[in-house]
């Protein structure tokens, strides 16, 4: 799968393509509509907005590095450097609390708190939906992946997820399908391609 990232001079999601988080596996009975939007602000970094249509999302956790995946959660996993085994998981709930680390797999991780100032997450709750926004600057990406510069036409790998491990109905949704028998988002071999528009 491929997602085209719009390149803009400022944060403007009006032309951003929506990446539907529409493949739900491993459980049945709940599959909320959700999608992600990603733009590249030229020379500055990547702005991410994720939206889910739920009227009352579970949101227990309020602090950085708490297990927000147990709540209703929207997640962005990304490997900004194709020749590196590292990827980042960035997981957010409707309170704007988030969990993030740089990893090579589920077990081997470094908290981003050890590497760079933390990004901020803005959470919005509306009538029947909730939304989170964050910005991953080139400087932040450079500190975590050793890569500062991105060009038009360039591609890297990533995935967008919706989950709720300890919600009333546990659910696991994804943009690029993960072909495992049990729930496991930490599988970069199933990431899709993210390409900055030429």
**Is there a domain that residue 123 lies in?**
yes
Number of domains in the chain: 1
Give the domain extent around 80. 2-128+143-196
Residue 96 belongs to a domain with what CATH number? 2.60.40.1190
Instruction: Please report which confidence band the pLDDT of residue 146 belongs to, taking 50, 70 and 90 as the band edges.
Output: confident
| Residue 187, in any domain of the structure | yes
Does any domain span residue 78?
yes
Residue 135 lies in a domain: no
What lies within 8 Å, CB to CB, of 18 at 6+ separation is 35, 36, 37
Within-domain flag for 86:
yes
In a domain, 136, yes or no: no
Q: For the chain, give the percent of residues with pLDDT over 90.
A: 89
Instruction: Region of 43 please: left (phi>0), alpha (psi -120 to 50) or beta.
Output: left
Percent of the chain at pLDDT > 70 equals 99
Determine the Cα–Cα distance for residues 42 and 21; give it in Å rounded to an integer: 26
Would 138 be classed as within a structural domain? Answer: no
Distance of alpha carbon 36 from alpha carbon 162, whole angstroms = 10
Write down the pLDDT at residue 117. 83
């Amino acid at each position: 799968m491929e997602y085209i990232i719009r390149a803009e001079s400022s944060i403007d999601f009006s032309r951003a393509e929506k990446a539907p988080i529409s493949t739900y596996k491993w459980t049945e009975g709940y599959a909320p509509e959700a999608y992600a939007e990603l733009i590249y602000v030229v020379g500055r970094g990547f702005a991410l907005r994720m939206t889910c249509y739920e009227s009352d999302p579970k949101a227990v956790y309020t602090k950085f590095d708490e297990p927000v995946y147990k709540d209703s959660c929207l997640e962005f996993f990304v490997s900004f450097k194709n020749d590196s085994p590292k990827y980042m998981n960035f997981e957010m709930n409707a309170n704007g609390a988030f969990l993030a680390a740089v990893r090579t797999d589920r077990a081997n991780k470094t908290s981003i708190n050890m590497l760079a100032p933390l990004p901020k997450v803005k959470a919005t709750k509306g009538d029947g939906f909730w939304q989170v926004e964050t910005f991953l600057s080139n400087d932040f990406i450079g500190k975590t992946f050793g890569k500062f510069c991105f060009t038009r036409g360039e591609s890297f790998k990533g995935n967008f997820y919706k989950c709720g491990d300890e919600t009333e109905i546990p659910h696991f949704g994804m943009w690029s399908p993960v072909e495992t028998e049990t729930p496991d988002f930490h599988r970069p071999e199933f990431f899709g391609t993210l390409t900055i528009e030429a």
